[in-house]
Structure 1
């Protein structure tokens, strides 16, 4: 039975509602589906002959998605896995990924997304913590599974290849991957099945119907561990269906001044194992009958740009680092951007200098949003009918409340800086098997403490100033790395930069700036002069170090913690 989203809190205190587009309601309607599997099956029936996902020139229709996922779900059930069992997926953006994920969900099981670049230690921790009993892995990373699996509860290993779903072309792709590029280290996993075997065996089985309720667990989405040990955010079907509904309502405002195509084409360059792409690309794509173009390796910018030449992209979710890297590619600068309707920035702060250059180059502004694994992920977003970059993370989406709190958990006045706390139907059920961590993450009145510091203006727009732990304390004054980076990045000779705090005997901490040069002749003195114009003395970098590259997560987020050493 569908239930109305709890309408807590008084409208009077929700100053952001006055800034909503006229088509956006305060609350999302009652959910139309009980589970993600139900939504998926309905969309596959409704949009059967449309392309759903494409990879390396090969498209899968919604009908083919339904068939493939049914075989995977049937196979898992035939191995004795039951509703609620955890199944790990360790795959990049290839066609098998959504086929497997929706197969797991249709069988009533729980998806545990795994970063394929994990070390054996990281993988072992996640598999043991989740209690996963099966894992799907690309052969390129099977050697990692081999080193980790003996200490886990894994009983079933299914190994995929890059070419599995590419038809005849797949044989050539596999040959190149294995023999030419030598991207498949030797591995040995006795008893492992191939993905194609699982599909074949699943085709001879029948997918048994499973009663899945809105509050049942759909995903264990592990956080990056930036605040300690990696923890699994428990995301229910209701959490993700709610966020899908919130995004669907918000998405419609993008077409207030631009015509909506018959079928939207989403670019999916962010990894599907990350919550941003999982919801904004995969789930939204399925729900709206859209076509997701999968990019398996977005770090290969020349190959990425060649892929972009083949499609008219309408929706482009991305990160600051990705936008920046693309704009520095000569081929990208020559592309036709006339089809772009929405460019959605998230995962990290979008720098104004990057946003302004992107708008000038493509004619389409970057619209920033904000969220976390724990919020499924979207909690706030700028209006999608906006014509300029705002520098803010936007307004709380429908059915969502945002409260700024002090260290004691008390709400602070509008305009003052505090911790961003979120309450809404997309907020996780808690951390997997970690009641103490869950209790610490939630306020007494049900708000999730994000650990991000920011403020809300009188129109309800929110600005992030930084992570609590990234804040630099210089002689008792707070310095936010984002602000330092924003100013430094406006210098035309700077490609990328990151600011961190380093110990200083005089001021406690001092600002150190790591810089990747766009102009190889840029000097430390020039950059200091530039920063002095935009930053008061205590915020200016005391130390500047030039590097060839900055450490990044697989999503492309700059890792300040590694720079701190």
Structure 2
């Protein structure tokens, strides 16, 4: 056991351990931070900035609405389906103050994915952007969701700008398909009803669930990782600790282009930055690079949280290269592997090093990171405070330094388990609290950790987990498909892309266009395959299990990468 191995690997300003019981729950952190930093900017989006004090007041209005105008009770699940807009932190903070469990939901989900998540989580309420309310209309009758709150993009803006933005989005850009949700309440109405009303502040135990964060885990259908108040507080303190003296409290502006519904951005911006009272510049649509760069140009930003794909796109943009980077001192990369060339290019353009880390939804998510001032490219750094790693062989035996095996992680940020899936929990989490990551890695003599392979078949597209089982299940519903398999193939832009192999039933005919159209209807955009290949057979074991690794090895050989 490497209990004390990393003790001397931390710089003097980074603690080796944190106290995950420093606060009883997230509500206590909110109250302290929003009071201490009441007049400091918290979030900016679409030109509007709210302070931490204003956020507390606004979230209180939303909490009061939930308590006085719905029958929702503490512990009930509330699905939140929004991009990076000011309504997101208002709703999340408000729902938490009312004692609700947050179910983060991707706004790009298809109806199939929404139905699974809402039913699996037992969500009783949904807050969504009007742009996807038409999907909610289709899905909700098949779920237990009883309360729906719909917000429009400009709802937190001053009156004239709000009316203008909402009109343009709906009537000029045609971004809001018609929908009919007769019992839905408008966000502005909910806020008006709760304004000035008292909040019965929830006070959950530290071991209670704060967030149900959906992931495929290492395999299979999407499961809800039960992240407790203690888990998220621990990761909040770990994130704060690893930044050491480089982070000034209530003095930094951090660019937030990654979606807050993703655990990486959620913990960094809604948890860690709340704890220290820093300012988050929300990017509502990071695919709109000109718009994003225009927003960034208005601020002397000092931090940036991103991933490899985004770093590449920005560095290739002439307008981005003209920005003022004189205050930029912190850049964090996660979600997918950081390429050395990307890190070097970012440093050349911005003058700032990238600290690459590693995490999983199941670890809230930060588990390791390259220390600021001691970055070793090609590694995922060293464990964050109060965290241990080990490497095991196929029999579960711990291996010595320098040997490759499955990486396991242990710490106060490791999830409670999967929601209502004890068997899946037992497969990944042992009785001592060690979580199997599904990644093959090596712990070097100097304490830095390298990932060298992936044990499972999970595909990583621009930082999002894509699971072959889900794609294959979706395609199997297309008439004419006898057998199919999904793998990840290298992609310059997204790290990996999906390729699907299809065996057509005898006497049937299918085209690539039909397969692609079917997948677009059934899975979120980033899961849609980039390539389709028809085959007569697929490699399989003697009991018929398809050997995805063989298909992957064939593709790598074609590309000269194996």
Q: 1:186 to 1:496 in 2, by over 3 A?
A: closer
Once the two structures are TM-superposed, the CA of residue 211 in structure 1 deviates from its matched residue by: 2.7
Any idea what the Cα deviations from partners look like across 1:504-531, whole Å, max 9, x if unmatched?
Answer: xxxxxxxxxx999xxxxxxxxxxxxxxx
Aligned position for 2:333: 345
Aligned position for 2:238: 246
SS in 1 for 2:6: helix
* Cα distance between partner residues in 1 of 2:112 and 2:231: 30
Aligned position for 1:357: 345
Q: 1:310 to 1:496 in 2, by over 3 A?
A: same
* Cα distance between partner residues in 1 of 2:530 and 2:76: 46
Q: 1:285 to 1:121 in 2, by over 3 A?
A: same
Once the two structures are TM-superposed, the CA of residue 501 in structure 1 deviates from its matched residue by: 9.5
* Cα distance between partner residues in 2 of 1:81 and 1:310: 41
Aligned position for 1:322: 310
1:393 aligns with 2:374: no
Aligned position for 2:120: 129
* Cα distance between partner residues in 1 of 2:168 and 2:493: 33
* Cα distance between partner residues in 2 of 1:83 and 1:116: 25
Aligned position for 2:296: 308
* Cα distance between partner residues in 2 of 1:159 and 1:72: 13
Shifted more, 279-288 versus 30-39: the winner is 30-39
Alpha-carbon contact 1:75-1:201 (below 8 Å) kept? yes
Any idea what the Cα deviations from partners look like across 1:464-498, whole Å, max 9, x if unmatched?
Answer: 123212499xxxxxxxx99x96xxx9xxxx66664
Aligned position for 2:401: 414
Alpha-carbon contact 1:358-1:364 (below 8 Å) kept? yes
Aligned position for 2:265: 277
Aligned position for 2:420: 433
Once the two structures are TM-superposed, the CA of residue 445 in structure 1 deviates from its matched residue by: 2.8
* Cα distance between partner residues in 1 of 2:500 and 2:183: 50
1:542 aligns with 2:542: no
Q: Which runs of 5+ in 2 are unaligned?
A: 460-486, 502-528, 532-552
SS in 2 for 1:15: coil
1:212 aligns with 2:204: yes
1:21 aligns with 2:11: yes
Q: 1:543 to 1:63 in 2, by over 3 A?
A: same
Shifted more, 345-354 versus 399-408: the winner is 399-408
* Cα distance between partner residues in 2 of 1:113 and 1:54: 20
Q: 1:252 to 1:329 in 2, by over 3 A?
A: same
Alpha-carbon contact 2:20-2:237 (below 8 Å) kept? no
* Cα distance between partner residues in 1 of 2:236 and 2:556: 42
Aligned position for 2:145: 154
TM-score normalised over the length of structure 2: 0.82
* Cα distance between partner residues in 1 of 2:185 and 2:365: 33
Shifted more, 270-279 versus 77-86: the winner is 77-86
1:461 aligns with 2:448: yes
Alpha-carbon contact 2:37-2:52 (below 8 Å) kept? yes
Residue 32 (structure 1) aligned to one of 22, 26, 29: 22
Aligned position for 1:404: 391
The 5-angstrom pairing of residues 253-268 of structure 1 reads: 253-254=245-246, 260=248, 263-268=251-256
Once the two structures are TM-superposed, the CA of residue 32 in structure 1 deviates from its matched residue by: 2.8
Alpha-carbon contact 2:27-2:202 (below 8 Å) kept? no
Once the two structures are TM-superposed, the CA of residue 29 in structure 1 deviates from its matched residue by: 3.0
Shifted more, 64-73 versus 440-449: the winner is 440-449
* Cα distance between partner residues in 2 of 1:543 and 1:94: 43
* Cα distance between partner residues in 1 of 2:250 and 2:115: 45
Aligned position for 1:198: 190
* Cα distance between partner residues in 1 of 2:144 and 2:21: 35
* Cα distance between partner residues in 1 of 2:430 and 2:356: 26
SS in 2 for 1:542: helix
Q: Which runs of 5+ in 1 are unaligned?
A: 1-8, 473-480, 504-513, 517-537, 546-565
Alpha-carbon contact 1:266-1:316 (below 8 Å) kept? yes
Aligned position for 1:50: 40
Residue 118 (structure 1) aligned to one of 95, 99, 109: 109
* Cα distance between partner residues in 2 of 1:378 and 1:296: 23
* Cα distance between partner residues in 1 of 2:263 and 2:407: 19
The 5-angstrom pairing of residues 94-105 of structure 1 reads: 94-105=85-96
Any idea what the Cα deviations from partners look like across 1:139-188, whole Å, max 9, x if unmatched?
Answer: 00101111110111111000000010011211111111111111001111
Once the two structures are TM-superposed, the CA of residue 361 in structure 1 deviates from its matched residue by: 1.0
Alpha-carbon contact 2:95-2:101 (below 8 Å) kept? yes
Once the two structures are TM-superposed, the CA of residue 77 in structure 1 deviates from its matched residue by: 1.4
SS in 1 for 2:11: coil
Alpha-carbon contact 2:438-2:455 (below 8 Å) kept? yes
Q: 1:49 to 1:240 in 2, by over 3 A?
A: same
Residue 323 (structure 2) aligned to one of 335, 354, 358: 335
* Cα distance between partner residues in 1 of 2:96 and 2:323: 38
Once the two structures are TM-superposed, the CA of residue 452 in structure 1 deviates from its matched residue by: 1.4
Aligned position for 1:235: 227
* Cα distance between partner residues in 2 of 1:32 and 1:446: 20
Alpha-carbon contact 1:419-1:452 (below 8 Å) kept? yes
Alpha-carbon contact 1:40-1:286 (below 8 Å) kept? yes
Q: 1:416 to 1:499 in 2, by over 3 A?
A: farther
For the aligned residue pairs, the C-alpha RMSD in angstroms reads 2.5
* Cα distance between partner residues in 1 of 2:75 and 2:500: 46
* Cα distance between partner residues in 1 of 2:379 and 2:206: 33
Aligned position for 1:77: 67
Q: 1:27 to 1:234 in 2, by over 3 A?
A: same
TM-score normalised over the length of structure 1: 0.81
